[in-house]
Structure 1
Amino acid sequence: MATVVLLRTGIVCSVIAFVFMFIAFSSPYWYKSWTRVHSSFGNIGLWHICLNGFIMPRDPVMKSYVGCWWIHSTEFDAVEMQIMPVWFRFIQAFCVFTLIADLLGMVFTILYIPEGIRSRLYTKRPRMFFINSALLLGAALLVFIIALVFAEMTNDSSFMPRPWMNYLSWSYGLCVVSGFFSAFGGMALFVLGLLYADKEANGDPGVTSAAELAARQKELEKQDEAMRNQPGMIMSSVHQAPPTHPQYGSGSALTYRGGGSMGHMAYQHGPPPIYGSRGALKRPHPSPRSGLWG
């Protein structure tokens, strides 16, 4: 059943998208320095940064930052714009919106499974599926923007020193993969909403569970029983006689068969006249036994 497959696809994709985005949101490995080289930069995430003796360029006091810190710590007030430029703050905000959209899309889609909640929440089923689809597709769009901006801006040496010694790590990769799952789940739910909209337009809301199918079958059985119990519902069959038609036999004989109250009648015309050796026309005489032409 296409609706069941699309629903399961939407649920699985929304759950995976949320889990991957949550891990990327909370892990500190979006951008990392190669371990085989010495760099003052260690790794950075959305909310966490590790430094190995980082000194801000042209800092008059030459303060060195060592260790892993919360990125909004007061320790980084002097270098706040260095480690968190404007574009980085937009990335943080977009990730928050993406996580919320993935969470809502996942929760609303999973709430379709319980019968009691579905009967109250999905009173207008196509509209709810379109809302879930919009949430997941919106999250996928935000991930697309995040991936492009972050990958491009980390190449700027004003963000972290020596960008050729750094690389995009697995937290960034999980964010990108979550966007793909959000897109697939959103498309599946959008198609599912179109199917249910078409079913309801044709007077068939459809079923997606065994309990709903059983209730639907009981309702149809009650309708059939009520129709059978109505007076005057007599089933009759109309028998029609086969049409009368001519049948052509072998040779030149023509046989005509017909049915009716007069019984069965057969007419047969004999062979054509035979011409003798002297040109005289010889007509065959009827046989007294058979009544047919001899």
Structure 2
Amino acid sequence: MGAFNRSTQVALGLSAFSFLLFLIAFSTPYWLVTDGRLEKPRFTNLGLWEVCFNNFQDIHRFYDNRFKGCMWVFEEEYYIIHDFLLPGFYIAVQFFATLCFVMCLIALPLTLALLRTSRDDDRNVVLLLTVGTCQVVGSIFGFIAVVIFGAKGDSRDWMPGWQNNDMGWSFALGVVGAVMLMPAGILYMIEARRERYKRLNEISNRQVSEYGDDYYQDQAHAAAAAIPSAPAPSSYFAPEPSRPRRPQPGHRAPSAPAPGGIQTDI
């Protein structure tokens, strides 16, 4: 835990707590309970996989069977009342709650692998992203399950004594567990994104440090060598040969002096 930052530690705590709550809700039969105001209620409590009756008899069927005690909802003895006991919305609640539980189970070994992986490992980002995705998807499935059960669980056309039926503590734990999975998964995904950008910055900085000044100097020398050399200045400004000056009008050109003589202008 010391190798992770604060956001990852918060995500680990939230995910562990929410998974524990949803596990309790998934396995306990107190999603729907009677409020205790009836002296002899025919229905006492119900969960996702277990229902408890007290001398219950379905008056809409021509059977004399009376059900008493708590049993698995798919028990063979309940076969004659499956169309009453297992309506469509209840099957949907079981389906989405199971998907949420499966996503939590998938995230559990991945979280354990994340705890054993260093932050410098390349698998760290993949594990963070995978765990976060599993928990976000599981939260969506769990939220759908609790919304459906909250809307249809205490309806008047399902369990007997619907006026005295209330949502139980197992349903409350399921709501809290499903909702808390969402921020935990989002924190994992944010941390994965942060680690990814951090590694990209490290790679870019490492490349700049390895190919820094020497690289740019070599590029400059190569560019200078590719430019043809300029001609010498003397080729452009070569001295012209001297020419005799033209005499001005009214003046005679001085005659060349004789060898050994003295030239005079008079």
TM-score when normalising by structure 1: 0.64
Structure 1 distance, partners of 2:118, 2:188, is 21
C-alpha displacement of 1:22:
1.1
Report if the CA contact (8 A) 2:135-2:181 is conserved: yes
Matches within 5 A, 1:45-84: 45-84=47-86
Structure 2 distance, partners of 1:2, 1:61, is 65
Matches within 5 A, 1:211-250: none
Report if the CA contact (8 A) 2:128-2:189 is conserved: yes
Which of 97, 100, 106 is equivalent to 2:99? 97
CA-to-aligned-CA distance 1:132-160 (integer Å, 9 cap, x gap) = 11111111111111111001112322211
Structure 1 distance, partners of 2:119, 2:76, is 46
Report if the CA contact (8 A) 2:114-2:128 is conserved: no
Partner of 1:131: 130
5+ unaligned residues in a row in structure 2: which ranges?
Answer: 205-266
CA separation of 1:117 and 1:55: change in aligned 2, threshold 3 A:
farther
Task: Give the letter for the 1:126 counterpart.
Answer: V
Work out which of the two has the higher radius of gyration on C-alpha atoms and give 1 or 2. Answer: 2
Counterpart of 2:115 in 1: which secondary structure? coil
Number of aligned residues: 202
CA separation of 1:85 and 1:118: change in aligned 2, threshold 3 A:
farther
Q: What is the RMSD of the two structures over their aligned residues, measured on CA atoms?
A: 2.4
Moved over 3 A (4+): 115-119
Structure 1 distance, partners of 2:105, 2:10, is 16
Report if the CA contact (8 A) 1:52-1:66 is conserved: yes
Is 1:4–2:9 an aligned residue pair? no
C-alpha displacement of 1:125:
2.9
Which of 114, 117, 136 is equivalent to 2:116? 114
CA separation of 1:108 and 1:77: change in aligned 2, threshold 3 A:
same
C-alpha displacement of 1:74:
0.7
Structure 1 distance, partners of 2:111, 2:203, is 22
C-alpha displacement of 1:104:
2.1
CA separation of 1:86 and 1:118: change in aligned 2, threshold 3 A:
farther
Higher helix share goes to which structure? 2
Is 1:87–2:102 an aligned residue pair? no
Counterpart of 1:149 in 2: which secondary structure? helix
5+ unaligned residues in a row in structure 1: which ranges?
Answer: 206-294
C-alpha displacement of 1:131:
1.5
Task: Give the letter for the 1:188 counterpart.
Answer: L
Matches within 5 A, 1:1-294: 4-38=5-39, 39-115=41-117, 119=121, 123-203=122-202
Counterpart of 2:202 in 1: which secondary structure? coil
Higher strand share goes to which structure? 1
Structure 2 distance, partners of 1:57, 1:196, is 63
Report if the CA contact (8 A) 2:32-2:154 is conserved: no
Structure 1 distance, partners of 2:188, 2:35, is 41
Partner of 1:251: none
Report if the CA contact (8 A) 1:14-1:185 is conserved: yes
CA separation of 1:118 and 1:54: change in aligned 2, threshold 3 A:
farther
CA separation of 1:180 and 1:58: change in aligned 2, threshold 3 A:
closer
Task: Give the letter for the 1:200 counterpart.
Answer: R
CA-to-aligned-CA distance 1:73-102 (integer Å, 9 cap, x gap) = 111011012111122112112111111111
Partner of 2:207: none
CA-to-aligned-CA distance 1:98-146 (integer Å, 9 cap, x gap) = 1111122233123222248995xxx343333121111111111111111
C-alpha displacement of 1:176:
0.6
C-alpha displacement of 1:65:
1.1
Structure 2 distance, partners of 1:53, 1:182, is 39
Counterpart of 1:158 in 2: which secondary structure? coil
CA separation of 1:151 and 1:157: change in aligned 2, threshold 3 A:
same
C-alpha displacement of 1:20:
1.0
TM-score when normalising by structure 2: 0.70
